[in-house]
Amino acid sequence: MSTSAHQIEGAVDQRGPSVWDAFTALPGNVKDGTTAAVACDHVRRYREDVALVRDLGVGAYRFSVSWPRVLPDGAGRVNARGLDFYDRLVDELCAAGVRPVPTLFHWDTPLALEKDGGWLARATAERFAAYAAVVAARIGDRVPTWITLNEPAEHTLLGHALGQHAPGKRLLFDALPVAHHLLLGHGLAVAALRAAGARDIGVANSHGPTWPASDAPQDREAADLYDVLLNRLFSDPLLTGRYPELITELLCADVPDLAGDLAVIAAPLDWYGVNFYQPTKVGAPRPGATEFSGLTLPPELPFSPRPITGYPVTDFGWPVVPDALTELLLTLRERYGDALPPLIITENGCSYDGLDDQARIAYLDGHVRALHRALESGVDVRGYFVWSLLDNFEWAEGYGQRFGLVHVDATLKRTPKASYHWLRTQLTSSPSGV
Ligand code: FCB
């Protein structure tokens, strides 16, 4: 089961501001005009939420630590109250027999660091490692498994290239230094975690098969470029110590010691996390902006996503294609061979409204079966985390897209949905790290 700090915690008055607080304060950035100031009020209700996780019968709970809750200015002064919260959360999980799996960065960069350039500045990578050390020193004695970053691809693309997520920068390909600094931050944080004794470290990257819109060379070329950005920009350097050729050309002029950085970035991982939601069909650019997955993509992009038809869709409009998960896992194994560590699905789930969410049951059932097919073909997958425990603040969508197995209403009352009861029944026969 998985969640993230900004999407559920609330209690903004007990932490420093993040880029998401600044972004959501600007009209037009979030579809329903909401913010995560209260969200699911998890900081106050975490005991109830841990009980929901425990009663579900899952073996592990992935949550994220809010950097500005621990270090309100991003560096320096520690907020004792913030660190205490994660200490109590970890204790509560351990007492419930659930393995805590913290993610150190799920997009909520301290606003103070953004003012110094955010992830465009190399110093942010160093500050991230210092923050990792502070968190590990406090909860590392009870936390066996760590995730450094969540979906650096989305954070780079949506947050810095397209401006549809915080911090709202529209730099297109000039956003690439952000990718490099996120990766460097990951590598430096791995070293900090290892120095603190951590032995089970991974990263959560988003992946999905890219399907060319046709066999025409222009469509294939556009799909290849998209595939590099989504499926290789982060995993190639992490797993092979090299950027894809195209990226090296775009980055090398600005990075003083690329080889040295790549050696840090490629520090061995104990496992590799895959967030999977959907495949993408991509073709040659078309004139005018493209609407895609709730995003408005500018015409300058050298590719354009196309609708995938013939499958059911979630409330978000995302096609439900379980076979694409099998395809993805087989592709990763083929692409990286022995360099691929054991895999963990760190996110998979769907948005559907209503308490009797039979469509979510079908989605999860289909994807677990797809995962099983990959296992039967010899792909080493060690765990599967569902996104998400609670209906929560879904970034630029606000509260409109409901990914929870537990419904949260306007009074913040939690009500398990049909999918929660279904999963609980499944798990009684085969407990695992879901
Ligand atoms: C992923 C994010 C997660 C959530 C799901 C639906 O990209 O990591 O926070 O928004 O999508």
Instruction: List pLDDT tens digits, range 86-97.
Output: 999 999 999 999
pLDDT(251) > 90: no
Q: List the domain range (segments joined by +) for residue 422.
A: 5-429
What are the distances in angstroms from CA 267 to CA 139, 195, 240? 23, 13, 10
- Cβ atoms of 401 and 316 within 8 Å: the answer is yes
Ligand 1: distance of its center to the CA of 351 in Å? 11
Residue 430, pLDDT score: 63
- Residue 391 Cβ inside 6 Å of ligand 1? The answer reads no
Mean pLDDT, rounded, for 182-187: 98
CA–CA dist 53, 377 (Å, integer)? 31
Which pLDDT tens digit goes with each residue over 18-70? Answer: 999 999 999 999 999 999 999 999 999 999 999 999 999 999 999 999 999 99
Dihedral Cα 37, 39, 40, 43, nearest 10 deg: -30
Structure confidence at residue 149 as a pLDDT band (50, 70, 90) = very high
For 98, half-sphere exposure in the C-beta direction (CA atoms, 13 angstrom radius) is 28
Ligand 1: distance of its center to the CA of 423 in Å? 20
- How many domains does the chain divide into? 1
Q: For residue 378, is it within any domain?
A: yes
Q: Provide the annotated active-site residues.
A: 151, 347
- Cβ atoms of 434 and 427 within 8 Å: the answer is yes
Ligand 1 pocket mutation, candidates 392, 395, 397, criterion most atoms within 8 A of CB: 395
- Residue 394 Cβ inside 6 Å of ligand 1? The answer reads yes
Average pLDDT across the chain, whole number: 96
pLDDT(151) > 80: yes
CATH number, domain containing residue 297: 3.20.20.80
pLDDT(198) > 50: yes
pTM to 2 decimals? 0.97
Q: For residue 434, is it within any domain?
A: no
Q: For residue 349, is it within any domain?
A: yes
Which pLDDT tens digit goes with each residue over 102-112? Answer: 999 999 999 99
Residue 429, pLDDT score: 76
Judging by DSSP bridges, how do beta strands 290-292 and 200-207 pair with one another?
Answer: unpaired
pLDDT(181) > 60: yes
Q: For residue 42, is it within any domain?
A: yes
- Residue 107 Cβ inside 6 Å of ligand 1? The answer reads no
Ligand 1: distance of its center to the CA of 275 in Å? 8
Q: For residue 139, is it within any domain?
A: yes
**Strand ranges, E, within 40-186:** 60-64, 99-105, 145-150
Q: For residue 244, is it within any domain?
A: yes
- Residue 387 Cβ inside 6 Å of ligand 1? The answer reads yes
Which pLDDT tens digit goes with each residue over 279-330? Answer: 999 999 998 888 887 788 888 899 999 999 999 999 999 999 999 999 999 9
Q: Which residue has its alpha carbon closest to ligand 1 atom 2?
A: 151
